[in-house]
């Protein structure tokens, strides 16, 4: 029984329970930066992707931004500065 209670406490601690707010904000900013940065690097290197649409697999280059070029780079820069 003790193992069950400890696992619940461990999950809460992993999710940030008891952490400072600055640590939680910086972790969220890092995750957001990483998300946008992966898409930006994929655009820069023209990565080939194979999206599945209407049961057909199309081979094409990755050419779309998450929001648009300006906002994506703005999120990366301001998140890094934060």
**What are 69-79's pLDDT values in tens digits?**
999 999 999 88
The radius of gyration of the chain's CA atoms, rounded to the nearest angstrom, is: 19
Is residue 10 included in any domain, yes or no?
no
Is residue 9 included in any domain, yes or no?
no
**Structural domains counted in the chain:** 1
Neighbours of 42 (CB within 10 A): 16
**What are 27-76's pLDDT values in tens digits?**
888 999 999 999 999 899 988 988 888 888 888 898 888 899 999 999 99
Is residue 12 included in any domain, yes or no?
no
Range of the domain at 63: 20-81
Is residue 72 included in any domain, yes or no?
yes
| pLDDT bracket for residue 82 (50, 70, 90) | confident
pTM above 0.85, yes or no: no
pLDDT at 1: 45
């Amino acid at each position: 029984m003790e193992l069950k209670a400890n696992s619940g406490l461990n999950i809460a601690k992993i999710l940030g329970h008891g952490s400072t707010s600055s640590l939680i904000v910086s972790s969220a900013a890092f995750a957001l930066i990483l998300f946008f940065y992966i898409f930006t690097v994929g655009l820069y290197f023209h990565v080939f992707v194979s999206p599945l649409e209407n049961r057909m697999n199309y081979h094409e280059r990755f050419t779309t931004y998450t929001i648009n070029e300006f906002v994506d780079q703005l999120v990366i820069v301001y998140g890094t500065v934060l």
